[in-house]
């Protein structure tokens, strides 16, 4: 029996997370203010440029509050991959935070530059199996394969109302999300060059435990390539969870903030222990 630590992505923010960081890792809060140029927690709702570094810091603080455990496996949902890599010793906290802050800013700028991207969440008992029936007719792509009951699609904002109608005609739930871009899709391509340059300069260390990539649902091989690929590729979270379970993981610990990943694991796996920090 093995344990996996899970690091959440955007959408997991909570009102309490700044207090957690200030209490557990005040030095990390100060570093975030330095790297971002202002307190990202005060502007979490202003876009991914602030939400990503704030959630990253809260995740690291949550991990520290647990005693900095390693366990046998780690995985992160989208930006959570960077938190997992920091916890595993591949990136320093400063390097991880600098990459997260740059990633958030580039993704926000890519969305604003394109100006016409959006996302829609599709839910239902067989959402994962039927997501393509919603995506394909409208030129959308799968952005987040979160659980058997939830998939998020990305693409041109103009087609989202029609996709929402298609989903409902198929008996699925659908909700257009209040985001500034078509994240995890080819519409994020303009963010790649600058992020790839930063990744090329980042110093990487050996992993102290196995970290699973949400791009491949396999252990990280080329860290730089996979982190860059994650900007335009889907988050294969359902496959990550299933793969970890197949590797013998029976306990999943979400470091926080929030309990989003715990909920997705509950909908995806049976007979496992779920812990939220």
Active site residues: 78, 184
- What tokens were used for 13? 């923010």
- What tokens were used for 239? 């496959």
Peptide bond into 257 cis (omega under 30): yes
Q: How many CA atoms are closer than 13 Å to the CA of 107, on its beta-carbon side?
A: 29
- What tokens were used for 138? 């409208």
Backbone angles phi, psi at 109, to 5 degrees: -65, -40
Q: Which residues contact 260 (CB under 8 A, 6 or more apart)?
A: 8, 9, 11, 12, 77, 254
Q: 3-class DSSP state for residue 204? A: coil
């Amino acid at each position: 029996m093995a344990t996996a630590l899970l690091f959440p992505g955007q959408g997991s923010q909570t009102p309490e997370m700044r207090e957690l960081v200030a209490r557990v890792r005040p030095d990390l809060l100060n570093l975030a203010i330095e790297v971002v140029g202002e307190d990202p927690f005060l502007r979490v709702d202003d876009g991914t440029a602030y939400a990503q570094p704030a959630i990253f810091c809260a995740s690291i603080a949550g991990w520290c509050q647990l005693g900095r455990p390693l366990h046998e496996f780690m995985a992160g949902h989208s930006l959570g991959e960077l938190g997992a890599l920091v916890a595993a010793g591949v990136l320093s906290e400063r390097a991880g935070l600098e990459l997260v802050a740059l990633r958030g800013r580039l993704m926000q700028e890519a969305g604003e530059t394109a100006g016409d991207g959006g996302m829609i969440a599709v839910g239902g008992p067989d959402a994962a199996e039927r997501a393509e029936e919603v995506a394909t007719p409208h030129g959308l792509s799968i952005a987040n394969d979160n659980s058997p009951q939830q998939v998020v699609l990305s693409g041109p904002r103009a087609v989202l109302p029609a996709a929402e109608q298609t989903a409902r005609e198929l008996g699925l739930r659908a909700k257009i999300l209040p985001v500034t871009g078509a994240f995890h899709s080819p519409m994020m391509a303009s963010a790649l060059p600058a992020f790839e340059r930063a990744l090329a300069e980042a110093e990487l260390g050996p992993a102290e435990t196995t970290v699973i990539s949400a791009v491949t649902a396999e252990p990280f091989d080329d860290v730089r390539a996979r982190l860059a690929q994650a900007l335009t590729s889907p988050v294969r979270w359902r496959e990550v969870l299933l793969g970890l379970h197949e590797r013998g993981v029976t306990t999943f610990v979400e470091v926080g903030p929030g309990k989003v990943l715990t909920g997705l694991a509950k909908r995806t796996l049976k007979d496992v222990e779920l812990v939220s920090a």
